[in-house]
Amino acid sequence: MQFKRIVQYVFHERDDRWRGIIRYGPLLLIPISISVILLWIFSTASLVYSATIGMEENCYNCTYGACAGRISCYPVAITPGYWDSAAEGASEVFARISILIVETVHLPLHLWAYFRSRLHPVWALCLSIALVGGWLCQAMFAWGRDDIGGAYNTAVWDGLATFRAVLGFGVAIVYFVYMGFAAHAVKLWRKANKRRANEREEEWRTTMGTGRGGSEEARVDSMELQKL
């Protein structure tokens, strides 16, 4: 029974600006929130793994030059995220979790605004456009910077990196779908404003025609609504 109440609370229409099928748009933020939690876990695991994995020696038979006929070895990082310095470590951390920090602040506020009937479609559209770009950049950076499938990578590193990159692309796709819902909500909101403006304009003209005098406030309101 409690679960049924929760489902009814989540899915019922609560805002005139998000009616019909478009009310499901903001609910896409729920799977995005789950994805962000998973990305926090796997990003932290990747950072810890890359910081502790260290170096290994790569050896080969030298066939030319001063080392001809001998085995030559040189150190290589077995993950692309190996940290040679504190500055490099800080940049690695920032590059991987910056979008997660943004989402940790944004998602609770966005969901709160929707469930409190304060989510404006224009605000939702602008945020979804920005976050589609942000997640695409993050996913492409992760794919390239982590050198997935590199010759010296371990299976663990490739697994962590692939999961984060694929999930990042998935979040970008979900935001793209949400952008479509928000764009449709903006279109309906503008139509509703224009309809109300026309109704107020007609009311003002009718009252003027009957000699009762129209409300100047209604006239101003209709003109303001027509600008939207």
DSSP-derived secondary structure for the chain: -HHHHHHHHHHS---TTS-GGGGGTGGGHHHHHHHHHHHHHHHHHHHHHHHHS-EEEEEEE--SGGGTTSEEEEEEESSTT--SSHHHHHHHHHHHHHHHHHHHHHHHHHHHHHHTT---HHHHHHHHHHHHHHHHHHHHHHHHHTTTT-TT--HHHHHHHHHHHHHHHHHHHHHHHHHHHHHHHHHHHHHHHHHHHHHHHHHHHHHHHTTS---HHHHHHHHHHHT-
pLDDT (0 to 100) of residue 1: 60
Average pLDDT over residues 112-137: 91
Q: What is the pTM of this model?
A: 0.73
Range of the domain at 62: 32-226
Give the residue among 172, 151, 150 at the shortest CA–CA distance from 161: 150
pLDDT at 94 over 70: yes
The answer to whether the CB of 58 falls within 8 A of the CB of 104 is no
pLDDT (0 to 100) of residue 107: 94
The two beta strands, 71-77 and 55-61, are antiparallel
Would 46 be classed as within a structural domain? yes
- Confidence class of residue 153 from pLDDT cuts 50, 70 and 90? low
- Confidence class of residue 10 from pLDDT cuts 50, 70 and 90? low
Would 154 be classed as within a structural domain? yes
Would 4 be classed as within a structural domain? no
Would 21 be classed as within a structural domain? no
Task: Find the length of the chain.
Answer: 228
Higher pLDDT, 213 or 102: 102
Residue that has been written with the tokens 């409690």 in this structure: 2
Would 25 be classed as within a structural domain? no
pLDDT at 207 over 60: yes
Would 12 be classed as within a structural domain? no
Average pLDDT over residues 169-177: 95
Average pLDDT over residues 4-33: 75
pLDDT (0 to 100) of residue 130: 94
Would 118 be classed as within a structural domain? yes
Would 75 be classed as within a structural domain? yes
Number of domains in the chain: 1
